[in-house]
Amino acid sequence: MKKTWWKESVIYQIYPRSFMDSNADGIGDLKGITSRLDYLKYLGIDVIWLSPVYQSPNDDNGYDISDYQAIMKEFGTMEDFDEMLKEAHARGIRIVMDLVVNHTSDEHRWFVESRKSKDNGYRDYYIWREGKDAQTPPNNWGACFGGSAWEYDQATGMYYLHLFSKKQPDLNWDNPKVRQEVFDMMTWWCEKGIDGFRMDVISMISKTKEMPDGNVNGLYGDFSPYCVHGPHVHDYLKEMNQKVLSKYDIMTVGETSGVTPEQAKLYAGEDAGELNMVFQFEHVESDGKYGKWTDQKFPLTALKEILSRWQTELYGKAWNSLFWDNHDQPRAVSRFGNDSPQHLTASAKMLATCLHMMQGTPYIYQGEELGMTNYPFQNPQEFRDIESINAYKEWCIEGPLSYETFWPCLIYKSRDNARTPMQWDDTENAGFTAGTPWISVNPNYTEINAKKQTADPDSVFHYYKKLISLRKQYPVIVYGAYELLLKDSEELFVYTRTLEHQKLLVVCSFSENACSFRVPEEFHDAECLISNMPSSYTKETDELRPYEAFVLLKEL
Ligand code: TEU
Ligand code: CA
């Protein structure tokens, strides 16, 4: 297996709107990020993944871009960006940009032109089709954020495709001019000195020419057989690699929802000539009851099966990302751990242990290193996210589910759980803004905040800091082979990693109760690298405390 810096790095995701506000308008911004770089340096991360900061009308908080080479007004200026990049680099921190090129905003000048007339030079930059008739879209596909995936456009009497909101028209990647525009724009950012790209829904850029109805699941037809891992996706990524990526020392990660390990080897194989790693969702997307919505915890055996399969199938062949949450997912500790005051700290540290000892590049989503939790939503007016707002309307107000059934699912899985402001300290608005925050601050900020935790050596923060430093010290954490133990346990997640003369034992209890466990004999003389509880196990221990976790290292 090749050794590379991006395999050995830990990535920290910033959702700029919610990270730090420098000018009291209630919206996080670039100067805010720059002012907190020392915090990230102290945590020890290597790379920042910056969610989109480009000019955008913010229908989907920056994932709808109207100019790829300008900064969103609310976030600052290009000078602020350059300053942030320079200050990050001065601290040895790299910055990876979010590349959203499956679609643009409908306010992008390409789309403004495209919709004008059938013979406009930009017409073929997007995907236009005739309707079945004046009132009926070309097919039954549903968009990810609700409604039909087709929007009728008055000017030319045709429909355009949007797999997300109607303000996010899909680009036509079959048009070589579109690809060249995107590659030129990427080159421009690389020349500026950025350190890589996280590629938004990159597995959806190639669509089939034929666009038949999809199987109806839920309210609309499913577009995925025709739009996900489509016919030319690998041709286009190879072309992108050859024309742009291969010319720079950057890292690339492809957001590839619905990918299988076999397909992941094509996107991120060691010698595939496409991307460095995939970011796949099987462990966070297999729990839905109504589409993605549910209020049920996922069984631990199922979670272990999924994560373990990815560990073993990609070993030595392709590279994966490790994450429990991001800006589209609920908070990890509320979903996979236990956010009651009694178990919050232990379970947050346990989850971190479980993830950071696996093979892959770990991603920390802002606030995860503090054990930030889901938000206690009381009413639908509190949502800001287009997905949550539309889902409430479509499933509940106009749709098949009662409020009693749907509300618990909505508040458990809403993306807004991840988007409440970063909790910096216990002053008003958690120190995020001196103005009115664009989305409510989680009221638990007086207890859970960065100021308190950086001062407390036993905090979740310091535990993450230690996990990050262990990764730098022990190659077995990065490159070791994985083996799952106790596969059928619904309480314990136990695995080993082995590289040359070293072997790790990783023991994590996902249970809120004590449960029995004995350290295997071969680890009786091992060293404990990290543990989330004081005075941990001995050889004689036969029980783990609720959410206990530790890692043992043995010389072979
Ligand atoms: O998300 C892509 C994606 O697959 C989403 O449908 C995701 O599964 C969903 O948000 C979970 O509820 C990316 C971005 O990460 C997301 O923030 C954007 O809204 C989306 O693309 C469109 O650009
Ligand atoms: Ca601001």
For the chain, the farthest-separated pair of C-alpha atoms sits apart, in whole angstroms, at: 79
How far, in Å, from the CA of 23 to the mean position of ligand 2? 5
Residue 322, phi then psi, degrees to nearest 5:
-115, 125
- pLDDT of 536 reads 66
CA dist 83 and 160 (Å) reads 39
Whether the CB of 144 sits within 6 Å of ligand 1 = yes
Whether the CB of 200 sits within 6 Å of ligand 1 = yes
Q: Which long-range contacts (CB under 8 A, 24 or more apart) does 82-86 make?
A: 82/192, 83/30, 83/31, 83/34, 84/30, 84/31, 84/33, 84/34, 84/37, 85/192, 85/193, 85/194
Residue 292, phi then psi, degrees to nearest 5:
-80, -10
CA dist 386 and 390 (Å) reads 6
Q: Which residues fall within 8 angstroms of residue 304, CB to CB, at 6 or more apart?
A: 484, 487, 493
Enter the tokens of residue 123.
């017409």
Q: DSSP secondary-structure letter at 320?
A: B
Options 60, 106, 153, 255, the catalytic residue: 255
Query: Which residue CA neighbors atom 18 of ligand 1 most closely?
Result: 63
Which of 201, 204, 412 to mutate to test ligand 1, by most ligand atoms within 8 A of the CB atom?
A: 201
Q: To which H or E segment does residue 23 belong?
A: none
Is the distance from CB of 167 to CB of 105 less than 8 angstroms?
yes
Whether the CB of 98 sits within 6 Å of ligand 1 = no
Q: Which residues fall within 8 angstroms of residue 260, CB to CB, at 6 or more apart?
A: none
Whether the CB of 369 sits within 6 Å of ligand 1 = no
Q: DSSP secondary-structure letter at 515?
A: E
Whether the CB of 257 sits within 6 Å of ligand 1 = yes
- pLDDT of 546 reads 97
Which of 15, 98, 164, 335 to mutate to test ligand 1, by most ligand atoms within 8 A of the CB atom?
A: 164
- pLDDT of 134 reads 75
CA dist 65 and 63 (Å) reads 6
How far, in Å, from the CA of 329 to the mean position of ligand 2? 24
- pLDDT of 196 reads 98
Enter the tokens of residue 381.
């007016």
Does the annotation mark 274 as catalytic? no
CA dist 355 and 465 (Å) reads 14
CA dist 220 and 206 (Å) reads 21
Does the annotation mark 500 as catalytic? no
pLDDT digit of tens for each residue in the chain (556 aa)?
Answer: 899 999 999 999 999 999 999 999 999 999 999 999 999 999 999 999 999 999 999 999 999 999 999 999 999 999 999 999 999 999 999 999 999 999 999 999 999 999 999 999 999 999 999 999 878 999 999 999 999 999 999 999 999 999 999 999 999 999 999 999 999 999 999 999 999 999 999 999 999 999 999 999 878 999 999 999 999 999 999 999 999 999 999 999 999 999 999 999 999 999 999 999 999 999 999 999 998 999 999 999 999 999 999 999 999 999 999 999 999 999 999 999 999 999 999 999 999 999 999 999 999 999 999 999 999 999 999 999 999 999 999 999 999 999 999 999 999 999 999 999 999 999 999 999 999 999 999 999 999 999 999 999 999 999 999 999 999 999 999 999 999 999 999 999 999 999 999 999 999 999 999 999 999 999 999 999 999 998 767 778 899 999 999 999 999 9
Is the distance from CB of 150 to CB of 161 less than 8 angstroms?
yes
CA dist 385 and 395 (Å) reads 15
Q: DSSP secondary-structure letter at 368?
A: G
Q: DSSP secondary-structure letter at 26?
A: S
- pLDDT of 534 reads 87
Q: What are the helix and strand counts (H, E) for the chain?
A: 17, 22
CA dist 298 and 462 (Å) reads 28
Enter the tokens of residue 496.
């080993």
Whether the CB of 164 sits within 6 Å of ligand 1 = yes
pTM: 0.97
Q: How far is CA 351 from CA 138, 209, 357, 380, 463, in A?
A: 45, 44, 10, 30, 11
CA dist 414 and 385 (Å) reads 8
Enter the tokens of residue 555.
């010389």
Strand partners, 50: 14, 97
How many C-beta atoms lie closer than 10 Å to residue 359's C-beta? 22
Strand partners, 71: 54
